[in-house]
Amino acid sequence: MRKYFGRKLLIYLLTFFLAVTIDWLIPRFMPGNPVANMLARVSVNSTAASVMQEYYTHLFGLDLPLWQQYLNFWANLLRGDLGISAYLFPKPVTQVLMNAIPYDVALLLPAILLSWLAGNNFGAVAARSKWLDNTVSPIGYILTATPYMWLGILLAWFFGIILDVFPIAGAYSFSLSPTLSWKFIGDVLLHWFLPFFSLFMVQFGGWAIGMRNMIIYELEADYSHYLEALGAPRSLIRRYAFNNAVLPQLSGLALQLGVIVAGALVTEVVFSYPGIGYLLLAAIQNQDYFLIQGCFLFIIIGVLLANFVIDIVYVLVDPRTRRGMTGEAA
Amino acid sequence: MKALKQKNEFLYFALRNRKLQIGLGVILFFVLLAAFGPLLTDYEPFDYVNPTGPVAPSSKYWLGTTFFGQDVFTQVVMGLRATFLIAILGSGIATLVGMLLGFLAGYRGGILDEIINVLTNIVLVIPTMAVLLIIAAYLQVRSLTMESILIGLTAWPWAARAIRAQTFSLRTRDFVDMARMSGESSFKIIFSEIAPNMMSYLVMTFILQFGGAILNAATLDFIGLGPTNAISLGLIMQYSMMWGALQFGMWWWFVPPGLAITLIVGALYSMNVGLDEVFNPKLREM
């Protein structure tokens, strides 16, 4: 088990190192001058512009030798300093991102957990009956083929415009100010539901299909046939098949994280939901490079943390990794 | 002789597989639409053809017009071309890189395997979209080719991993040992002994990569990092959101591009399941 975690941690550390290096490398070796581009989008008078020009050139550290720029970048990063946002000047990027994080967590955590649980259980049931399989599988395939933003747009159009039962923009109504009242909480939930639901649905389709296919493979495995020959009840065989099928679904979740996060980004754009995705769009439109780089790092850190949590859960549910046997190739 | 018979058997099941038929049919429809659609329209994708602005679908504008009076049908068929171009290039690059690394790691083993494995795991953990974002954000001019190369170069890890596992299980088989004993080069053994025996696997990898590239491109386009000099399905959706298609109820602007993507990717998945049944007799009865 120590070897398992050691290997995983090494990979994550290397990944983080590589990600930070990419984050440092890209602005410096891409064609064009990021500082000039960034200032071209900010409309300020010329004296302020020249001050900002100097400030940002210094902040990017473009006047120093490369190795020193790289070390400074790491030093700043470890101090939690990701620079100043140009679009929300003069707020520091770290603070801007910290304000957005709660919305992402509120959206992603329930959507990932609930869709995974519901999808797996639903898929397992679907594998059981031919009728359900024939109706559920095609729907599952269509859902998982749907681009996240398109489902979001359709839901916003149908529930927000045609039926007019859900708001389609923001995290709460402009007329309300954040307070701890039932009215406000209800309003937040109302705004939260559609983005959550569209994230949930796309993932749900994928998990249901995955579980359905895994169960069918497991039921063909030797142990299932052996149990069957022994006369074990079907429900028992199904349960063993389910337990075995959950493991690949768990590593599947780790592999899917990047795609899910990307899905959340575009869903937030559709619903103008003030998480990282929404910030990112604004940052891109305003060429706010520090904010873009900050978003990149936050996404990487989030995905790495989630991966680590999944690793721990994997050890908890798979006795083979717990006893030091290699259950899952690292 | 035996190989020929086997091929016929696959063809027999392939032609009778409903999932494969439906998938291929849908893909063929969209390929034809992308190829000949532009001949059916008199407009250019960005031309302001309708001076009164947005109108619903009619005989004159098959899928209506945008907020600015651009013809949506023209944009969609041109966007389909872009989508297929990105998908072919992106998935081609990803599959090639995946094959190269997967074969090398699986066949050679040892320290090379270790290095490739670590590299694969690292790229696997990094969210592809985040890397695409940061690169695309710094590019002032973005072309379709550039987008496909970026997508291809970030999408290979799981292909490499899967191909490595397959190669690993094949390399100790008798016929591979035979080839090695008769002094064939590693390159020849990989491409004439190992690769043909996992052809079905490679085809299915390519199909999944194809779908993945389409979805990745759409996401990138939608967040504002799409090609700067072309139209694509993701860009149509982005423009529709930017110019209030939702608020004004211009459904004809955002429904067709998303529907096209969903149908194409769905058809690819369906083909994949169909092919799985064709190549894997155990699944056929289902």
Give me the pLDDT at residue A192, please: 94
User: Taking the domain A99-329, which CATH number applies?
Assistant: 1.10.3720.10
Distance separating alpha carbons of residues B151 and B154, to the nearest angstrom: 5
pLDDT single digits (tens) B74-133: 899 999 999 999 999 999 999 999 999 999 998 888 899 889 988 898 888 888 888 888
Give me the pLDDT at residue B3, please: 55
**B76, B260 Cβ separation under 8 angstroms:** yes
Distance separating alpha carbons of residues A195 and A270, to the nearest angstrom: 8
Question: Any bridge partners for residue A122, and if so which?
Answer: none
For residue B270, which residues of chain A lie inside 8 Å, CB to CB? 141
Give me the pLDDT at residue A329, please: 44
Give me the pLDDT at residue A41, please: 63
Give me the pLDDT at residue A29, please: 74
Distance separating alpha carbons of residues A237 and A244, to the nearest angstrom: 11
Within chain A, all domains assigned CATH 1.10.3720.10 are found at 99-329
pLDDT bracket for residue A110 (50, 70, 90): very high
Q: Do A153 and B140 touch (CB under 8 A)?
A: no
* Partner A contacted by B39 (CB < 8 A): no
Q: CA nearest A192: which of A173, A206, A178? A: A173
Give me the pLDDT at residue B2, please: 52
Assign A84 to helix, strand or coil: strand
Q: Do A266 and B222 touch (CB under 8 A)?
A: yes
Q: CA nearest B154: which of B115, B193, B185, B127? A: B127
Distance separating alpha carbons of residues B97 and A134, to the nearest angstrom: 37
DSSP-derived secondary structure letter, A243: H
Residue A265: closest CA among chain B residues belongs to which residue? B223
Distance separating alpha carbons of residues B9 and B273, to the nearest angstrom: 18
ipTM: 0.88
Report the range of poorest mean pLDDT among A36-40, A145-149, A281-285.
Answer: A36-40
State yes or no: pLDDT of A48 exceeds 80: no
CA distances from B169 to B113, B173, B194 (A): 14, 8, 10
Distance separating alpha carbons of residues B236 and A149, to the nearest angstrom: 12
3-state secondary structure A94-134: HHHHHHHHHHHHHHHHHHHHHHHHHHHHHHHHHCCCHHHHH
From the CB of residue B3, how many other CB atoms can be counted at a distance below 10 Å? 8
Give me the pLDDT at residue A327, please: 44
**A123-143 core/surface letters (b: 16 or more CB in 10 A; e: else):** bbbbbeeeeebeebbeebbbb
* Partner A contacted by B237 (CB < 8 A): yes
Compute the average pLDDT of residues A102-121. 94
Q: Does the N-terminal peptide bond of residue A90 adopt cis geometry, omega within 30 degrees of 0?
A: yes
pLDDT single digits (tens) A138-196: 888 999 999 999 999 999 999 998 888 888 888 888 777 777 788 888 888 999 999 99
For residue A14, which residues of chain B lie inside 8 Å, CB to CB? 118, 122
**A90, A42 Cβ separation under 8 angstroms:** no
Residue B128: closest CA among chain A residues belongs to which residue? A258
Give me the pLDDT at residue A31, please: 67
Instruction: Output B286 or A87, whichever has higher pLDDT.
Output: A87
**A206, A119 Cβ separation under 8 angstroms:** yes
Please, is A75 exposed, middle or buried when counting C-beta atoms within 10 Å of its C-beta (0-12, 13-18, 19+)? Answer: exposed
pTM: 0.88
Give me the pLDDT at residue A135, please: 81
C-alpha count within 13 angstroms, C-beta hemisphere, residue A304: 24
For residue B118, which residues of chain A lie inside 8 Å, CB to CB? 11, 14
Torsion of CA A267, A273, A279, A281, to 10 degrees: 40
Residue B245: closest CA among chain A residues belongs to which residue? A157
Q: Percent of chain A beyond pLDDT 70?
A: 91
* Partner A contacted by B115 (CB < 8 A): no
pLDDT single digits (tens) B46-86: 777 777 777 778 877 778 888 777 888 989 999 999 999 99
Q: Do A255 and B158 touch (CB under 8 A)?
A: yes
Distance separating alpha carbons of residues A30 and A34, to the nearest angstrom: 9
Distance separating alpha carbons of residues B238 and A285, to the nearest angstrom: 12
**A52, A42 Cβ separation under 8 angstroms:** yes
Q: CA nearest B60: which of B68, B51, B50? A: B50
pLDDT single digits (tens) B195-208: 888 888 899 899 99
Write the residue in B211, B223, B283 that is nearest to A280 by C-beta.
B223
Give A161→chain B minimum CA distance, Å.
Answer: 7
Q: What angle do CA A257, A258, A259 make, to 5 degrees?
A: 90
pLDDT bracket for residue A34 (50, 70, 90): low
Instruction: Output A119 or A217, whichever has higher pLDDT.
Output: A119
Give B109→chain A minimum CA distance, Å.
Answer: 15
pLDDT single digits (tens) A52-80: 777 777 766 667 778 888 888 888 888 88
DSSP symbols for B170-207? HTTSHHHHHHHHTT--HHHHIIIIIHHHTHHHHHHHHH
Q: CA nearest B217: which of B85, B78, B77, B34? A: B85
* Partner A contacted by B281 (CB < 8 A): no
* Partner A contacted by B149 (CB < 8 A): no
CA distances from B137 to B42, B88, B284 (A): 34, 23, 47
State yes or no: pLDDT of A198 exceeds 90: yes
Give me the pLDDT at residue A33, please: 67
CA distances from A13 to A5, A7, A70, B125 (A): 12, 10, 17, 11
Instruction: Give the best-scoring range by mean pLDDT among A266-280, B2-16, B37-51.
Output: A266-280
**A290, A82 Cβ separation under 8 angstroms:** yes
**A262, B129 Cβ separation under 8 angstroms:** yes
